[in-house]
Amino acid sequence: MPASSRPPEAARFAETQWNVVAAAAESRSPGGAEALEQLCVDYWYPLYAFLRRRGQSPEAAEDLTQGFFAERVVTRRVLKDISPERGKFRSWLLASLLNFVGHEREKAMTLKRGGGLPHVSIGMPDLGEAEGRYQAEPGHDLTPEKLYDRAWAFTLLDQTQEELRALHESTGRGESFAALRGFLPGAGSTQPYAEVAAKLGKSEDAVKMAVSRLRQEFGKTLRARIALTVDGEAEADEELRHLMAVFAG
């Protein structure tokens, strides 16, 4: 299911910390399949980019990422023993991928592409889309770990924007959001306020106030999404600071 067609996730899962992970780990839990899909959507590309930066070919990185999700994530093996006490989910997942890659190397697999594992389709881009995005990444001054963090950060921003877009459209504010979303973090719009004001038929001051409210809403939604896979307020704040540092770096 495309990210843009899903209803807001934070509204459904933000009651307690780690709800997405907990729901995804339990196949019979309400929303378990949807939570699992959300994890796949959020982390497939960051893990793929990490493997590409470590020197894997596009085909090998795709196979390993697909194999990891097929063997360890979709089967929920990687989620069974996880808990907030083990640290941030982002770090746990990367460590689990490295464990999987090491295991595959030990097996010295010589099978055809796909490794004999089932292809995972939920939330996954095709190879051309993922590789195109990877080729647009900064040069090789970024380590695999830093590129993973960067991909994770941009994925979070994209998912947060899509969540807000769906919310605004469902409440009749889609046109306003479309005009103002360029002012959100990561969008990089250089459109003058006066130009947006003319388009919306509002004063420039009114547009500036609307942008300020939208940014506040974005910040709260982003933090709520981050809070889903960390343990408590302090770690959510730490992850938010880390995300900001990723962009600053």
Q: What is the pLDDT of residues 25-77, one digit of tens each?
A: 555 555 556 666 777 778 889 999 999 999 999 988 988 888 888 777 766 67
Task: Please tell me the predicted confidence (pLDDT) of residue 138.
Answer: 72
Q: Domain for residue 194, yes or no?
A: yes
33 lies in some domain: yes
Using the predicted structure, report yes or no on whether residue 238 has a pLDDT greater than 90.
no
Cα gap 158→110, rounded to integer Å? 37
Among 71-85, 130-144, 161-175, 184-198, name the most confident range. 161-175
**Which pLDDT does position 6 carry in this prediction?**
38
Higher-confidence residue of 220 and 244: namely 220
Domains identified in the chain, total number:
1
Chain segment 205-218, per-residue pLDDT in tens:
999 999 999 999 99
Q: Where are the alpha helices (DSSP H) in the chain?
A: 10-13, 19-25, 32-53, 58-68, 89-107, 127-135, 144-170, 174-180, 193-200, 204-227, 233-248
Let me know if residue 171 belongs to a domain. Answer: yes
pLDDT value for 206: 95
The proportion of the chain whose per-residue pLDDT surpasses 90, expressed as a percent, equals: 29
Q: Is residue 3 part of a domain?
A: no
Concatenate the DSSP letters of all residues of 11-58 into one string. HHHTTSTTHHHHHHH-TTSTTHHHHHHHHHHHHHHHHHHHHHHTT--H
Q: What is the pLDDT of residue 91?
A: 83
Task: Please indicate, yes or no, if residue 102 is contained in any of the structural domains.
Answer: yes
Residue 4 within any structural domain of the chain: no
Look up the domain containing 159 and give its range: 9-248
**More confident position, 227 or 179:** 179
pTM, two decimals, is: 0.70
The model's pLDDT over 90-144, given as tens digits with 9 standing for 90+, comes to 888 898 899 888 887 656 444 444 444 545 555 556 667 888 888 888 766 788 9
Residue 220 has pLDDT above 80, yes or no: yes
d(CA 127, CA 51): 13
Identify the pLDDT of residue 112: 42
Q: Is residue 122 part of a domain?
A: yes
pLDDT at 14 over 50: no
Tell me if 1 is assigned to some domain.
Answer: no
Lowest mean pLDDT among 7-11, 87-91, 113-117, 227-231: 7-11
pLDDT at residue 209, rounded to an integer: 96
Q: Residue 223 has which token pair?
A: 């933090």
